Amino acid sequence: MPYFDTASAAPLHPVARQALLASLDEGWADPARLHREGRRARMLLDAAREAAAEAVGCRPDELVFTPSGTRAVHAGISGALAGRRRVGDRLVVSAVEHSCVLHAGEAHAAAGGSMAEVPVGRSGAVDPEVFAAALAPGTALACLQSANHEVGTEQPVAEVAEACRAAGVPLLVDAAQSLGWGPVPQGWSLLAASAHKWGGPAGVGLLAVRKGVRFAPQGPADERESGRAPGFENLPAIVAAAASLRAVRAEAAAEAARLRALVDRIRARVPELVPDVEVVGDPVRRLPHLVTFSCLYVDGETLLHELDREGFSVSSGSSCTSSTLTPSHVLRAMGVLSEGNVRISLPSGTSEEDVDRFLAVLPGVVASVRDRLGAPESPAAAPGAAGTLVVDALGKRCPIPVIELAKVFGSVPVGGTVTVLSDDEAARLDIPAWCEMRGQEYVGEEPSPKGGTAYVVRRVS
Amino acid sequence: MPYFDTASAAPLHPVARQALLASLDEGWADPARLHREGRRARMLLDAAREAAAEAVGCRPDELVFTPSGTRAVHAGISGALAGRRRVGDRLVVSAVEHSCVLHAGEAHAAAGGSMAEVPVGRSGAVDPEVFAAALAPGTALACLQSANHEVGTEQPVAEVAEACRAAGVPLLVDAAQSLGWGPVPQGWSLLAASAHKWGGPAGVGLLAVRKGVRFAPQGPADERESGRAPGFENLPAIVAAAASLRAVRAEAAAEAARLRALVDRIRARVPELVPDVEVVGDPVRRLPHLVTFSCLYVDGETLLHELDREGFSVSSGSSCTSSTLTPSHVLRAMGVLSEGNVRISLPSGTSEEDVDRFLAVLPGVVASVRDRLGAPESPAAAPGAAGTLVVDALGKRCPIPVIELAKVFGSVPVGGTVTVLSDDEAARLDIPAWCEMRGQEYVGEEPSPKGGTAYVVRRVS
């Protein structure tokens, strides 16, 4: 049963499993104790730190282990902001950072600081010049992911690091999605990552802080992990995390080339096999194993369930798959379609056959979901008489508002408009995205007198 | 090789190991995902939460898993304080709480709040009436451990909980040392614990917050664990933690009775076998497996190393075994001797033979350490002519100042004084403790003109 969601979590790498088992026996004691069990635990911890630091490209005393990537990001951001409080309180982040970065920024803003989001282009990457321009005086910290977790786009880390260096601003790189594939380009000041993304166990993140970076750990004091990660060290898992990082790195170049070819095939074939699909993310500067596309007129949750029934585990940024019923902030920042969104992230060892089977199954699954929703098979042709038309989709969830739009669109003449009334968050993203895909004009939105929002689209062809 | 430091960390319980291995295969995926691997992970997480809640004695939706006991305490204290900010900013804790509680209180105080420490008696327990009196208006939260981690004394949780209820103050109980032995008496509002103390793996703590308790999680928002414990769930370890809690509880009554008898033997025999020893902690209201004693004229670190060479792993609260060269705050709060301190915490399954071998080895080890330090074998007898005497122990570390005091003490007449000059933190605790043990009068301390502190002792017999 192919599991295509390794960007969420990967099964434990065999090397990690071995290391975990061995260190359950050897590394359960408190490394702060003086007795032989404690000293043995300390040696294992030191060795794991050295191995991880080598893979990260830093000194062992610059790296601490945290309970998760999220906690590494939280500790890194709060510590760096506090360390540079005298410089200012401005935090600069890309708009497509992982939610743990954005949430840390929101907490900073709620406490009186400020956060600026650098927009991204349609590929999901920031423009280094735009990022550089955001580094206004008073900027205490900048954050940029190494690669995006939802669409796979690599960020121009080296260029942004250079801009940060020139502005005297430390750069925190969230390397969660990329560290297993290779080191982050030099120039970062802080780096965070998460072991369960590279085949290590859950319960381990890492935070590296370069010597010389002003850093003031926040929260209650603690003696462990240089005062940067309170609580008893999760030692067997740390040992396993370090061992698996080394193991996946040894296989990374060959496996990246193999998976990149499989992803290229998905990127090329999906739009040929499925009508009305938008493949998103940079086609070249991207993670080797990850590809995302969105399908017009499709309900993401139903699509996930249908693929699951066919044996494929994938993820989605559609609003209907989130607990808050809002589309992924990444897709929103990119301005791309969010309905019927599918993220595929291939684990190491994924076979060509599994990918081909996915490509064989997908078109039928999408078609059946569209059938059930009554999606238009192709743009309606006959122009109608009325110059304008209003579609009331209030109370209807993604993808219905876009489906209703598409159904009537052919009945207004060129030059006429369709106004869609909707109170679904996804419509704000998906109606403009539909216009982009169809070459029609998105006029804009206004409050609807009946509640919700009125989205206006003009037919230009 | 007997390991007598289970209060620091215990080897993994066989049931925990089995559960961990099984859930490495079944529970590595993201429980927030909709695919079958995610749903399976979610089911495991739900089942673990139910099992842990049953053992704690709360509802599953009142309990979240954290990365450690320390993180549970930090999150519990900060969330409860923030939730009752309008009531006041006073935090009341016992003076012998685990350092993670005190550090959380110090962070609260540094941010402008206030913290009051309730003193303990010589047994290490708080007096419920004294605790109740500390619950002044404006008290947002009170914290009391279920049992002390260094001396094993059980706290009067039920009585203090009743006082808190009467005062309308929520009580957070740090149950780290006792939860494996049984549930905490009802009446608590928040409860924190740590899995690696009950034979579960590292990387798992738990925090229970009763419905109706005002609670506002601090730090960046996160959807996982009801917003109270950010970051990817450490699921295999959580499953193992819950399984082992159930397993140790099933064995707890029988094993507690067995270990209690072994500890009773240590408590009785050590003072018979080793001269000048103070066994500390309540002899009756105590954890079944833990006993602590201090040996006059002994260097704790050397004692630990010698015991380690003999094959016994123990812990110590002596200043020389701490990175800050200060004696344990628990021993200090109790006012008992800190030099030559040994904490023994027996793991389940400890044999009578191991304990007897320890009792056979200890007297020789203590004697050899005392020999090397030149400790007086018994109080010097001949009274000297001078009425007062000054001993300069500046620059000398524990236990030397007390040894120097004891060496000369017999040479002053009854009614005369010895003044010890010392700049070692442990002297402040250990010189009064020596007076208590010897039935001599501790007059007090004053600044020493030569630096450090002058401790004055009067000979009364």
CATH number for position A428: 3.30.110.40
Helix (H) or strand (E) holding B447: strand B441-447
Specify if B327 maps to a domain: yes
Does B205 touch chain A if contact means CB atoms closer than 8 Å? yes
Question: How many domains does the structure of chain A reveal?
Answer: 3
Whether residues B398 and B313 fall in one domain: no
Q: What is the DSSP string of B186-246?
A: S--SEEEEEGGGTT--TT-EEEEE-TTS-----SS--SGGGGTS-S---HHHHHHHHHHHH
Whether residues A28 and A131 fall in one domain: yes
Q: Of B207, B231, B248, which marks where a domain is finished?
A: B248
Q: What is the pLDDT of residues A208-229, one digit of tens each?
A: 999 999 999 999 999 899 999 9
Whether residues A178 and A287 fall in one domain: no
Q: What is the pLDDT of residues B250-263, one digit of tens each?
A: 999 999 999 999 99
> Residue B387 pLDDT > 90, yes or no?
no
Whether residues B27 and B155 fall in one domain: yes
Q: What is the pLDDT of residues B157-186, one digit of tens each?
A: 999 999 999 999 999 999 999 999 999 999
Specify if A113 maps to a domain: yes
Whether residues B190 and B129 fall in one domain: yes
Phi, psi of A384 (to 5 degrees): -90, 180
Q: Which residue of B has its CA nearest to A18?
A: B21
- Do the Cβ atoms of B234 and A202 come within 8 Å? yes
For range B424-432, the mean pLDDT:
94
Whether residues A292 and A155 fall in one domain: no
Phi-psi sector, A124: left (phi>0), alpha (psi -120 to 50), beta: left
Query: Is A377 or B114 the better-scoring residue by pLDDT?
Result: B114
Residue A430 domain boundaries: 388-458
Q: What is the pLDDT of residues B359-372, one digit of tens each?
A: 999 999 999 999 99
Specify if B363 maps to a domain: yes
For range B116-136, the mean pLDDT:
98
User: At which residue do the structure tokens 């008992």 appear?
Assistant: B336
Q: What is the pLDDT of residues A30-88, one digit of tens each?
A: 999 999 999 999 999 999 999 999 999 999 999 999 999 999 999 999 999 999 999 99
DSSP H helices, B124-202, are 128-134, 157-167
Closest CA–CA distance from residue A232 to any residue of chain B (Å): 6
The CATH number linked to A125 is 3.40.640.10
- Do the Cβ atoms of A236 and B35 come within 8 Å? no
Specify if B314 maps to a domain: yes
Whether residues B289 and B330 fall in one domain: yes
Specify if B446 maps to a domain: yes
Does A360 touch chain B if contact means CB atoms closer than 8 Å? no
Residues A249, A251, A257, A259, Cα dihedral to 10°: -100
Specify if A383 maps to a domain: no
Chain A residues touching B44 at Cβ < 8 A: none
Whether residues B321 and B424 fall in one domain: no
Q: Which residue of B has its CA nearest to A227?
A: B103
Q: Which residue of B has its CA nearest to A107?
A: B220
Q: Of B348, B373, B398, which marks where a domain is finished?
A: B373
Percent of all residues in chain A with a pLDDT value above 90, rounded to a whole number: 91
The CATH number linked to B356 is 3.90.1150.10
What is the predicted pLDDT for the residue at B284?
A: 97
**Least confident residue range of A168-172, A320-324, B47-51:** A320-324
Q: Of A308, A338, A373, which marks where a domain is finished?
A: A373
Does B294 touch chain A if contact means CB atoms closer than 8 Å? no
Whether residues B398 and B295 fall in one domain: no
- In this structure, are residues B459 and B414 in contact, taking their beta carbons and an 8 Å threshold? yes
Specify if B9 maps to a domain: no
The answer to whether residue B435 is catalytic is no
Specify if B5 maps to a domain: no
What is the predicted pLDDT for the residue at B378?
A: 53
Whether residues B234 and B276 fall in one domain: no
Q: How far apart are the first and last CA of chain A?
A: 45
Whether residues B273 and B154 fall in one domain: no
Q: What is the pLDDT of residues A255-276, one digit of tens each?
A: 999 999 999 999 999 999 999 9
| Residue B376: band (very low, low, confident or very high) from pLDDT cuts 50, 70, 90 | confident
ipTM of this complex prediction, to 2 decimal places: 0.92
CA B349, B257, B282, B365 torsion-angle sign: negative
- In this structure, are residues A294 and A270 in contact, taking their beta carbons and an 8 Å threshold? no
Whether residues B233 and B268 fall in one domain: no
Does A24 touch chain B if contact means CB atoms closer than 8 Å? yes
